[in-house]
Every structure is written in structure tokens, then in C-alpha cells.
Amino acid sequence: MKSDEKQSQTPFFTALKDYVKSGVAPFDVPGHKLGRIQNDMIKELGDSIFLYDANAPYGLDNLSNPRGVIKEAENLCAELFNADAAYFIVGGTTTAIHAMIMSTCRARDTVLLPRNVHKSIVNALVLSGAVPVFMKPLIDEEYGFANSVPFEEAKRAIDENPDAKAIVLLNPTYFGAVSDLKRICDYAHERNISVLVDEAHGTQFAFNDQLPLSAMEAGADMAATSMHKTGGSLTQSSILLCKGSRNNYEYIRTVLNILQSTSPSSLLLASLDVARKSLAENGYELTSRAIEMRNYAVNKLKDLKRAKVLDEDYFLENGVFNYDKTRLVVSFKDMGYSGFAIYRLLKEKYNIQAELGEKYVVLFIFTGGTTLNDVNRLVEAIKDIDQIEVDQVFDEDFLFGHHFPEYVVRPREAFHAPKKYVNYLDAKGEISAESIMIYPPGIPLVIMGERIDDNVMKTIKFYLMKGFTILKDSAGEFIKVIDTENWIKRSDEDEI
Ligand SMILES: Cc1ncc(COP(=O)(O)O)c(C=O)c1O
């Protein structure tokens, strides 16, 4: 069968439809028995969602050891993304990232990674016990966010840590910046270091030459690719893509079976199957449309008075290797407005939902599902905001710099160490035993094992005062730190 014909099939979804339509008498779980127990969701949404919510019945294969329709669907996915293997994931890209790192790094193995990683990578260090060596991403000092890692910095980290097991890169960062992934892959592979890519925001890359290279095209060993973010599947569904002989495929399966549910949602699996088909048939058109819509917005916004679009030229001029043209970053800094304030204003006044607001910028994501009508609404809203006459003045508390804290001890050690709770204002010099962040973007201000400094305290104070929900384990103004007086550090031999 030719590739096009194969890609037009949906093995898992087709089997699920057949199962539902077969008139089966369900004496298995789930207990709603294909939606036969009425509830408010069925009344509101119709019965389809519950009807198609099966749990691994006979004939629908098993995600823990796929040999039938799930395997066929995964193989089609691998073929589409130019990978040797694809694994369907139902725990979000978080699970794909945990699996990627756990199957490559054992405790005390060195892993090179940019500090502006998502919390799932930090948590993977707790699970694996790997030792992070942080690479410095390019920092945009003007607008206060971190970009991609330049080749020279990746090379430096590799040269200084020739025993590293893996290097982790973002493709792209939340704001759309990418590294010279191919060159880094080549350099790392010459030294037998695996390249693991957090491609949570890069599903679209595989389908359009106007976009940066996808991880698999660049030659990465593994990529955690969020089909649900920009690929069109349901939220929480994701894929782990793998390529090449550095991967131990049997071990990846073992790790996935530690991390994944034994009751994966058939709706999530089916949504991966149909999204893959849609990308195979229309990936180019969908991504071209996303780029076109985004370019249209950039063009319409080129004469703003004080708000400013940070377009691809801006990123490239600041040293970024390449840029994802499905993203729109707009700054309101010169008006004295924070990205957070504009994020809220857009929703409250214009009913426009941005992806995220940061200190000085707001991020908007475009996909093949973005409509011209929505883009026009966005453009008009931004132009409207740009007209606001009153200049805001950033208060003192706002003026904290972009800065990463000092790394003291590996995250797993901090996770297991005895803890105490301190008010964040008294925490200077303490070693954090938790990761603290706002979400999105979910990039920790401090990760467990790092030292809390003035900047961390100032940043937490700012977010608390402005009423942001800070993600951390401890309540209110308290943070969890290592109780160093009672801490007996583990020796190198203690742990595998
Ligand atoms: C860069 C990055 N990596 C990983 C993740 C985790 O993905 P998920 O929310 O699908 O678990 C996110 C989510 O926001 C992300 O932004």
C-alpha cells in the first residue's frame, strides 16, 4: 500500500467505531456502560463522549503492550514524523518528557539542559536522579524572557562534560525561538550524547519548510511532541517520537509502563489517530494557513504607536537561530503595561484569550484552526489598546531582572532531604526544596536544589502582590526549603 493510502486510514478510531456500533453488552469498566447512566455532561454535550469512552476491550489493543490497532496507529504516526517509533501518550507531554529522560539517564548521569525548561523536565530529574548541568539560553534583557541556546553554548557544555548522557533542547521555546538543532545533534552524536527534545510547541514544524526543522528531521534521538497543543488532538494527548540506535526501545516501553495509566482514555487515543491523519493529508495547508494568518496580523499591526510586535527579524537580530512563524509576541512595555495586565484586559474587555502574558509581552498562538474573523478581532483589540492615552508607570516592585538562581544540589537530593517551611521573605540563602512558578509558562523561578536569593524573593513578592496564582507545594507566603541542620547528604555510592 502506498504511504498516502496508509496515512488515510485510522486503525484505532475505526476499531473504536466498530466496537461502539457492534451492539456489545458491556460487562467491563467504565461503569457508565457507554453512556447509559445519565448525567449533566450527556445532557449538554450529547451522548458521543461517553459512548466512545471505552477501556481497552477485546479488539481495541492495549497501550501497555500494543500489538494491534494501537500499534498500527503508532506506526503510521512514526512514519509521518520521520521517526523509527512513536508512542501514544495520554498523560500530556509531561509523561513523554518523563519517559524520555528516565529511559536515557540513570541516577547521577549528567544531563545538559537550558535553565528555561518546563517544570516537567525538572521533575524528570527527580524521577531519574540525573544531575543537571545548565546551559545559558540567550536572554532578551529588554523584554525579560529567555530564548534558545546558541550552538556555541551547547558546544561548551558538551566539551566541558564529555561524559554527559544527554542534552535537552526546546524546539521551540514558548516564545518561538529555536536553536541550530541539526548542528547540535551532529556535535552531540559524534560524542555519543543523546539529543532529547522538548517539542511541546513544535508539532507543526514537520509540515512546512517555512518553519524550523522538526526534532526528527534534525536527527534528534527523542522528541516529546505535544500533538494536543498545535497538532489538533485532544488536550492531554501527546506523542513520544524516537529515532536511531542510541535508544533502548525495550527500556522505553518499560519506563512508559511505569508512568502511564493502565486505563488510557480511548477518546485521547482516537484523537491522536485522527489528528495524525489530518496532518498527513492537510499538514502543509494547515500550517501554511497558520503562518499566513499570523503574517496578516503582523502586517496589520506594523504601525502601532507604542505597543510593538516582536517579529522574526527581532528574534533573529537578537541571535536566535530560527523562529516559529506561527507565534505572535506583542510588547506593551513602552505604554507602561505589563503583559499580565494586557492578558487580563484582552479577556475581560474583548473576550480574547491569549496563550500567556509575561512581564512585558503577550503571546498568541496561531494554528490551522485560527479564523480570519478571530485575527481581525485580535488586531482591532490591540490597536484599540495602543490608543490608550494614559501612560502607566511600572512600580518599583516590577523592576526585577531576568536571572537564574545558583544551583546547589541535584533536584532528587533536594526532594528527599528533610524540609522546613519559611516565609519567603526570610528565605534568603536557603536551598529550595520545591519548584516555584507561574503557569503558563511553567518555567520555574527557582527549582528544588537552587539557592533562594534576593531576585527570587522579589519575583515571588511581585506575583503575590499582583494576585497571581503561584504554583508551589506550600501554602500562602511559605516556601519549602531544605532543613540543612538535619540534612545528611547522600554520598555518590549511596544511590543508583
Ligand atoms: C515547553 C513545555 N514543555 C512541556 C510541557 C508539558 O506539556 P503538557 O501540559 O502536555 O503535559 C509544556 C506545557 O505547557 C510546555 O510549555
Residue identifier of the C-alpha nearest atom 7 of ligand 1: 93
- Cα(15)–Cα(10) distance, integer angstroms: 8
- Predicted confidence at residue 338, as pLDDT, reads 86
Q: Which of 273-277, 445-449, 457-461 has the highest mean pLDDT?
A: 273-277
Phi, psi of 183 (to 5 degrees): -65, -40
Q: How far is the CA of 145 from the centre of ligand 1 (A)?
A: 17
Cβ of 114 less than 6 Å from ligand 1: no
Q: What's the confidence (pLDDT) of residue 144?
A: 85
Residue 226 phi/psi, 5° resolution?
Answer: -80, 85
- The segment(s) of the chain belonging to CATH 3.40.640.10 are 3-280
Rounded Cα gap, residues 239 and 93, in angstroms:
7
CA 213 to ligand 1 centroid distance, Å: 19
Per-residue confidence at 3, pLDDT binned at 50, 70, 90?
confident
Q: Mean of the pLDDT values across residues 210-224? A: 98
**Diameter of the chain by CA atoms?**
67
Q: Is residue 256 predicted with pLDDT exceeding 90? A: yes
Does ligand 1 lie within 6 Å of residue 200's CB atom?
Answer: yes
Mutate to test the pocket of ligand 1, among 222, 226, 437 (most ligand atoms within 8 A of CB): 226
> Would the CB of 226 count as within 6 Å of ligand 1?
yes
User: Which residues, 6+ apart, have CB-to-CB distance to 320 below 8 Å?
Assistant: 138, 147, 148, 177, 178
Give the pLDDT score at 439.
Answer: 76
> Could you tell which of 89, 113, 117, 118 is best to mutate to test the pocket of ligand 1, judged by most ligand atoms within 8 Å of the CB?
118
CA distance 74 to 85: 7
pLDDT in tens, 110-135: 999 999 999 999 999 999 999 999 99
CB 309 within 8 A of CB 379: no
Q: How far apart are the first and last CA of the chain?
A: 47
Q: Is the CB of 198 under 6 A from ligand 1?
A: yes
Answer yes or no: is pLDDT of 4 > 90. no
Q: Which ligand 1 atom is the nearest neighbour of the CA of 439? A: 14
> 471 pLDDT band (50/70/90 cuts)?
confident
Output the pLDDT for position 32.
97
Check whether 219 has a pLDDT greater than 80.
Answer: yes
Grid cell, residue 370, equals 485560527
Cell numbers for 308: 510593538
- Ligand 1 centre to CA of 95 (Å) is 10
Distance from the CA of 182 to the center of ligand 1, in angstroms?
22
Q: Determine whether the shortest distance from the Cβ of 123 to ligand 1 is under 6 A.
A: no
Q: Which atom of ligand 1 is nearest to the CA of 236?
A: 10
- Gap between the Cα atoms of 111 and 149, Å rounded: 15
What is the reported pTM?
A: 0.95
Q: Which bin fits 275, alpha (ψ -120 to 50), beta or left (φ > 0)?
A: alpha
Is there a contact between 272 and 88 (Cβ–Cβ < 8 Å)?
Answer: yes
From 95-104, 154-163, 353-362, the region with the lowest mean pLDDT: 353-362
Q: How confident is the model at residue 337 (pLDDT cuts 50, 70, 90)?
A: confident
Q: Does ligand 1 lie within 6 Å of residue 120's CB atom?
A: yes
pLDDT of 276 higher than 80:
yes
pLDDT above 90 covers a percentage of the chain that reads: 84
Contact 340, 470 (CB under 8 A): no
Distances (CA, A) of 21 to 33, 34, 47, 60: 14, 11, 13, 14
Q: Give the three cell numbers for residue 147.
A: 530564548
440 in ligand 1 pocket by Cβ < 6 Å?
yes
Q: Is the pLDDT of residue 394 over 80?
A: no
Task: Give the cell for residue 13.
Answer: 478510531
- To the nearest whole number, what is the mean pLDDT of the chain? 94
Q: How confident is the model at residue 277 (pLDDT cuts 50, 70, 90)?
A: very high
pLDDT at 488: 85
Interacting residues of 51 by C-beta distance below 8 A, sequence separation 6+: 20, 34, 35
Give 252 Cα–ligand 1 centroid separation in angstroms: 20
* pLDDT digit string, tens, across residues 187-209: 999 999 999 999 999 999 999 99
Average pLDDT over residues 259-279: 97
- HEC letters along the chain: CCHHHHHCCCHHHHHHHHHHHCCCCCCCCCCCCCCCCCCHHHHHHCCHHHHCCCCCCCCCCCCCCCCCHHHHHHHHHHHHCCCCEEEEECCHHHHHHHHHHHCCCCCCCEEEEECCCCHHHHHHHHHHCCEEEEECCCEECCCCEECCCCHHHHHHHHHHCCCCCEEEEECCCCCCEECCHHHHHHHHHHCCCEEEEEECCCHHHHHCCCCCCCHHHHCCCEEEECHHHHHCCCCCCEEEEECCCCCCHHHHHHHHHHHCCCCCCHHHHHHHHHHHHHHHHHHHHHHHHHHHHHHHHHHHCCCCCCCEEECHHHHHHCCCCEECCCEEEEECHHHCCCHHHHHHHHHHHHCCCCCEECCCEEEEECCCCCCHHHHHHHHHHHHHHHCCCCCCCCCHHHCCCCCCCCECCCHHHHHHCCEEEEEHHHCCCCEECCCEEECCCCCCCECCCEECCHHHHHHHHHHHHCCCCEECCCCCCEEEEECHHHCCCCCHHHCC
Q: Which pLDDT band, with edges at 50, 70 and 90, does 496 fall under?
A: low
Percent of residues, the chain, with pLDDT higher than 70: 96
Residues 6+ apart with CB under 8 A from 277: 7, 8, 9, 10, 76
Interval 281-298 mean pLDDT:
98
Ligand 1 site, residue 92, Cβ cutoff 6 A: yes
**Spatial separation of the C-alpha atoms in residues 475 and 480, rounded to whole Å:** 9
- Whether residue 495 has pLDDT greater than 70: no
Residues 399-457: tens digit of each pLDDT: 556 678 999 999 999 999 999 999 999 999 999 999 998 877 778 889 999 999 998 99
Q: Given this model, what pLDDT does residue 393 score?
A: 63
Distance between Cα 149 and ligand 1 center (Å):
18
**Which pLDDT tens digit goes with each residue over 144-187?**
889 999 999 999 999 999 999 999 999 999 999 999 999 999 99
User: What pLDDT is stored for residue 111 in this prediction?
Assistant: 98
CA 367–ligand 1 middle distance (angstroms): 17
CA distance 1 to 137: 45
User: Is the domain 398-494 a CATH 3.90.100.10 member?
Assistant: yes
Q: Which CATH class is domain 3-280?
A: alpha beta
Model confidence at 367: pLDDT above 80: yes
Contact at 8 Å (CB) between 327 and 366? Answer: yes
Distance 198 CA to ligand 1 centre (A): 8
pLDDT value for 391: 61
235 Cα–ligand 1 center, Å: 11
For range 363-372, the mean pLDDT:
98
Task: Give me ligand 1 centre to Cα 16, in Å.
Answer: 28
pLDDT at 389 > cutoff 90 = no
Mutate to test the pocket of ligand 1, among 120, 203, 324, 363 (most ligand atoms within 8 A of CB): 120
Tell whether ligand 1 has an atom less than 6 A from the beta carbon of residue 94.
yes
For 159, residues 6+ apart whose C-beta sits below 8 A from its C-beta are none
Residue 226 CA: which ligand 1 atom is closest?
10
Residue 93 Cβ < 6 Å to ligand 1: yes
Task: Please tell me the distance between residue 171's alpha carbon and the centre of ligand 1 in angstroms.
Answer: 12
- The Å distance, Cα 169 to ligand 1 centre, comes to 13
Res 431: pLDDT = 97
CA dist., res. 160 & res. 257, Å (int): 34
| Cα dihedral 411, 415, 417, 423 sign | positive
Spell 124-144 as b/e; 16+ CB within 10 A means b. Answer: bbbbbbbbbbbbebbbbeebb
